[in-house]
Amino acid sequence: MTLWGVSLTAMQGLEVNEVVDWGPAIRPTRANIDLQAVVANSRRLSELAHSPVLAVVKADAYGHGAVSVARALEAARSVAGFAVSLVEEGIELRAAGITSSILVMGPSLMDSHDLMVEHELMPMISDERHLAPLARAAGKRTRVLDLHLKIDTGMGRLGLHEGSLGDVLSQIESAKNLRLVGVASHLACADEDEASDAQCMTHEQLRRFAGIVATCRKRVAPEVRYHVANSAGILRFEAARYDLARPGLALYGNGAGPGVGLRQAISLRSQVTQLRHVTTGARVSYGATWTAKRDSVLAIVPIGYADGLPRNISGKGHALIGGARMAIVGTVSMDMIVVDVTDLPAAAIGDEVVLLGSQGAESISVAQLAKQAGVSEYELTCGISKRVPRTYDERLH
The tens digit of pLDDT for each residue in 78-108 reads 999 999 999 999 999 999 999 999 999 998 7
CATH classification of the domain holding 129: 3.20.20.10
Active site residue 286: yes
Among 395, 369, 393, 319, which Cα is nearest to 65's?
Answer: 393
Catalytic residue among 140, 286, 316, 371: 286
Q: Are residues 95 and 186 in the same domain?
A: yes
**End position of a domain, from candidates 230, 252, 274:** 252
Average pLDDT score, the chain: 92
Say if CB 53 and CB 45 are below 8 A apart. yes
| Alpha carbon distance 29, 269 (integer Å) | 6
Q: How many domains does the chain have?
A: 2
Give the whole-number percent of the chain exceeding pLDDT 90: 87
pLDDT in tens, 34-64: 999 999 999 999 999 999 999 999 999 999 9
Q: Are residues 134 and 247 in the same domain?
A: yes
Catalytic residue among 58, 62, 242, 252: 58
Q: Are residues 277 and 233 in the same domain?
A: no
C-alpha dihedral sign at 175, 179, 183, 185:
negative
Q: Residue 21: pLDDT above 80?
A: no
Instruction: Please state the φ and ψ torsions of residue 147, each to the nearest 5 degrees.
Output: -145, 160
- Domain span at 197: 35-252
Quote the pTM value: 0.91
Q: At what angle do helices 165-174 and 197-217 cross, to 10 degrees?
A: 40
Active site residue 176: no
pLDDT in tens, 125-155: 999 999 999 999 999 999 999 999 999 999 9
pLDDT in tens, 193-232: 766 676 789 999 999 999 999 999 999 999 999 999 999 9
Per-residue pLDDT band at 257 (split at 50, 70, 90) = confident
Give the whole-number percent of the chain exceeding pLDDT 70: 92
Q: Are residues 172 and 321 in the same domain?
A: no
C-alpha dihedral sign at 211, 212, 215, 216:
negative
